[in-house]
Amino acid sequence: MKFKIIPILSILFFFIVFAIFFKALQKTSFYTPNINFEKEIPSFSAKIFKMDIEKNSEEIFIGNQFYLINVWASWCVPCREEHNFLMKLKEQKNLKIIGLNYKDKEKNASNFLRELKNPYDQILIDENGTIAIEWGAYGVPESFLIHKRKIIKKIIGPINENLYSEIEGIIQ
């Protein structure tokens, strides 16, 4: 009898461990390195989404306002996660959200925004991903908080509850 109980128990034990690890995987946590010095924003020019004009960075980031530039794409799954937080940030008065549509198709991007609503005040197009390189972005999604033409915070990965309140704290 003893012979059968031990195998069953150990298999059961490992199943539980497996289940817990499996659940833990769904809760990924993201790492945000601190950039401890302020960096000038890069200068670039980009096409505006659904319009046939091109703007350069001087025309986009003006005045004393806070800007959040958010690198996103319709094919990027974690971008959907952070979308709610972007919608909440849209309501902040002294913050403008600029989207940088990364390696995307215009049609897919429009569908994405129609489905989840548009949090952006302006959307720039980065068809071949070169503007994101200028910014030093590692991937999508990624966001940069900008004040007076300087990057004051870089967020790698989707914005979550904590980062949302941190941004809220900075701009107020």
Q: Which stretch binds other proteins (CB under 8 A): 82-90, 92-100, 116-124, 135-143?
A: 135-143
Q: How far is the CB of 27 from other proteins (least distance, A)?
A: 7
- 40 touches other proteins by CB under 8 A: no
Provide the token pair at 138.
């590692």
Minimum CB distance to other proteins smaller for 121 or for 127: 127
Report the C-alpha gap between 170 and 172 in whole angstroms. Answer: 6
Cα–Cα distance for residue pair 101/126, rounded to 1 Å: 6
In the numeric block, which tokens belong to residue 26?
A: 């769904």
6 belongs to the binding site for other proteins (CB under 8 A): yes
First to last CA, the chain: 68
Instruction: Give Cα 3 distance to the centre of its chain.
Output: 54
Q: Per CB under 8 A, which region of 44-52, 59-67, 132-140, 164-172 contacts other proteins?
A: 132-140
Instruction: Determine the residue type at 8.
Output: I
Q: List all residues 6 or more positions away from 145 whose beta carbon is below 8 Å from its beta carbon.
A: 66, 67, 68, 151, 152, 153, 154, 155, 167, 170, 171
Question: Is 149 among the residues that bind other proteins (CB under 8 A)?
Answer: no
Q: What are residue 8's phi and psi, to 5 degrees?
A: -60, -45
Per CB under 8 A, 64 contacts other proteins: no
47 binds other proteins (CB under 8 A): no
Min CB(142)–other proteins separation in Å: 12
C-beta of 29 vs 64, nearer to other proteins:
29
Here the tokens at position 111 are 């569908």
Stretch of 13-21, 48-56, 61-69, 140-148 lying at the interface with other proteins (CB under 8 A): 13-21
The contact set with other proteins (CB under 8 A) reads: 6-7, 10-11, 14, 18, 20-31, 33, 35-39, 128-130, 133, 136, 138-139, 157
